Structure 1
Amino acid sequence: MMGTKAMLWRWRRNALRRRSDATEAWVVLATGMAIAIGAPMTGAATAWTVQDALDRQRQDRHSTMAVLTANAPVVRAYVGGGTVRASVRWTAPDGTTRTGDAEVKTGLKAGDRATVWTDNRGALTGEPAGLAEVEARAGLSGAMTAGGVCAVLVTGGWVVRRRLDVHRAGEWEREWAEVGPQWARKRA
């Protein structure tokens, strides 16, 4: 098991510690702190933003009764029914009659009533997400954002550490070029 002294050698002053070793220690610390603080904060902010947008969408969409203006196609591929797009007519909040294509149950006939979803202006929209779906989508969006932030930070830290490794290798080569010939003369 590695002791505390061995783990913190880059922070202590000693003859073997290079400036790049201390820089690497600071990069690792900064990356860890950014992950510990930044990832949860951005994940939570994303989740709140997505949930707020979906909640507003739920408030802005309303179910409206419409009348089919043509027969809805019959689709037998669904067990227990399904939905298809069909031409419908409905009354908007301003009292005007509108027509368009909306999702309705398969097999309905012209003149049948169907529930469609409209926005505050009376335009057709899709059904809003349910409460469970809103929470799931918000949570998933937040988790994916937090994971993305972690991936970016870890990758950035890795790139910096690799550059420090290349720099250290160059230092070793330069120093060995100076010291190597001196050692060869002593052995001869």
Structure 2
Amino acid sequence: MTTRTVRLGPLSVKMYCAIGMIAVSWAQLEDMVSLCMSRLLGTDHTEFLPIASNMQVKARFDALKSIAGLRLPADEAKALIARCDEALELGRERNKILHGSWIQGETDDVAIRLNYRAHGRISADAPVISAREIAEISDRITMLTEAFAQALQRLGLLDPKNPMRSPVRPPEKTAGA
């Protein structure tokens, strides 16, 4: 059995920063998913926020997958659905990181996450995780957010200079016109 040394007290600034990166990048992803839903529905984003903010994260991704299937060409819908599935997988990692119980490791750039479950049986482990590994997960989340934004841009539904501005849509044709 290998002996590990932990330091009592708070985590290092490096570890706090890495964990914080996950929180910030995930919040940006959630906002982008809400923006995707509002734009694909043709709704003003600020008017849609009261709905999105009251939806659980999984429900947002499930809703976006459904909307994409209804509103997008098959290839765009397939790509957006794949991004949603990838985000849900990353969400599991995010939850472990943000909701984990942490102990500082031997050096400033590693910590030990205490994992325990008591659903039917008790299990526990304590993996060592580096700030770099956490930052890499944050980078993957950020890349997904960018991929959603790029999809909206391709569809003409996002102005990167003013992302909150609703895109100008051509007037709909009326009967007899």
Give the TM interval when normalised to the shorter protein.
under 0.3
Is the strand fraction higher in 1 or 2?
Answer: 1
Superposition TM-score, scaled by structure 2 size: 0.24
Higher Rg: 1
Pick 1 or 2: higher relative contact order, CA cutoff 8 A, min separation 6: 2
Superposition TM-score, scaled by structure 1 size: 0.23
